[in-house]
Amino acid sequence: MLSVEDAQARILAHVSVCPVEKIGLHALGGRVSAVSLKSRWPLPGWDNSAMDGYALRADDLTEIPMRLPVSDQVAAGDGERRPLVPHSAARIFTGALLPPGADTVVVQEDTVREGDSVMIQCMPRTGQHIRRAGSDIGQNQTILSQGQRVRPGDISLLASQGYVDAEVFSRPSVTVLTTGNELRAPGPEAPRPGEIIDGNTIALVNAIRGAGAVGVAGASIPDQADATEQAFRTCPPGFVISTGGASVGDHDHVATALQRICGDGFEFWKIAVKPGKPVVFGRTSSHLYFGLPGNPVSALVSFELFVRPALLAAQGCLNPLPPTVSACLEHTVPSGGRRREYRRGILRNIDGVFHVRVFDVQSSGALSSIAGANALVLIPKDAPVGHAGDTVSVLPLGGTESFGDVF
């Protein structure tokens, strides 16, 4: 059986980057930049006040407290450059142009206004509360790199530089198929004996969307060889993911169907990993096929390890493989088995140190072990018992971007 790394490498070797398209800033979030963009002008474009207060020359303050006449008022948006009258202060507001001749802003809280004058009560530091021109972004500086996933802050920066659109890689299209006579669509009625509600399709469509791609629910396939092959052959070009039917039972037809469809492009079946051993991958000139296990936990873990990296690579991401972090175990965990394991758990940041708690229930059929998890804990093959305080490698589910204040 292939190792996880070998399987990932074989998949990524056959992923083509999607075409480039230009879209407006309003729809740019989460997309991957196809080009590097540079700043068109410095930011800020001029010296301005970082606070509400009074602009003055620090050398004019010979003692504290000291009264200065207020000679001007400058608000944000006032573009007239009026020099500061010597030995005076100008009332100034956040973002307003610093008057020529002023070198310091005294914050409003350190002053007392007295009619046409102001009492400065604290000796300022020369240059305080001033945003200097170009102190944030210099001219012709790279502000967005090719292969970078665009975040809201990037969009704000692009807008500040006059960009109204940007070139990004288009989103890959993914068709999600399910197999199994036992499946029925979600609904309020309890399943009858022998039935299983299909949660894989909607879960994977959402996981695909979270990876930046477009997921579409396809056919629900009965456990029949001909129907399985036909369903794969009629999928639109792009990525195809199936769940179930990937093992070796009499009713499992996915691997056989993909061997016939892909021919020499059939890459592998089975990976030395738990959960997710019976993963199938094959390719044609127009499709990349992933046959994932039917157990919900196995399907989602396999998606994180093998499908998400492929979707990210198709969007031009420079580092598509799942990131890992080191974390301290919070309790004892059982030893590893004959395959590498990815056990579900909760990752927390406690005072800057990552801690992880591994769930007691690790069955691949236990939805609770994936529903409440935000991380996968890597347990190497034949690893000894883990104890509280031991360091382990942890893979954040959905990547570090989904972790909010954990990172």
- Reported as a single tens digit per residue, the pLDDT across 138-167 is 999 999 999 999 999 999 999 999 999 999
pLDDT of 401 strictly over 90: no
Task: Write down how long the chain is.
Answer: 407
Strand partners, 379: 341
- Whole-angstrom CA distances from 35 to 29, 168, 224 are 15, 7, 46
For residue 97, what pLDDT band results from cuts at 50, 70 and 90? Answer: very high
pTM attached to this predicted model: 0.86
- Reported as a single tens digit per residue, the pLDDT across 184-205 is 888 888 888 888 888 889 999 9
Using alpha carbons, select from 167, 140, 169, 144 the residue that is nearest to residue 157.
Answer: 144
Burial track 99-109 (b if 16+ CB lie within 10 A, e otherwise): beebbbbbbbe
Contact 346, 373 (CB under 8 A): yes
d(CA 116, CA 72): 10
d(CA 120, CA 125): 13
Averaged pLDDT for residues 261-279 = 95
- Reported as a single tens digit per residue, the pLDDT across 29-40 is 999 999 999 999
Give the residue, 407 or 22, on which the prediction is more confident: 22
pLDDT of 403 strictly over 60: no
Of 21-30, 65-74, 280-289, 361-370, the poorest mean pLDDT is in 361-370
What is the DSSP secondary structure assignment for residue 131, as one 8-state letter? E
% residues pLDDT > 70 (the chain): 98
For residue 404, what pLDDT band results from cuts at 50, 70 and 90? Answer: very low
% residues pLDDT > 90 (the chain): 85
Structure confidence at residue 88 (pLDDT): 98
Instruction: Map tokens 């301290």 to a residue.
Output: 328
Structure confidence at residue 398 (pLDDT): 75
In order of their start, the domains of the chain are: 20-43+136-169 (3.90.105.10), 48-131 (2.170.190.11), 173-314 (3.40.980.10), 325-406 (2.40.340.10)
pLDDT of 119 strictly over 60: yes
For residue 387, what pLDDT band results from cuts at 50, 70 and 90? Answer: very high
Structure confidence at residue 400 (pLDDT): 54
- Across the chain, what does the average pLDDT equal? 93
Output the 3-class SS for 35-62. CCEECCCCECCCCEECCCEEEECHHHCC
For residue 399, what pLDDT band results from cuts at 50, 70 and 90? Answer: low
pLDDT of 319 strictly over 80: yes
Give the residue, 353 or 247, on which the prediction is more confident: 353
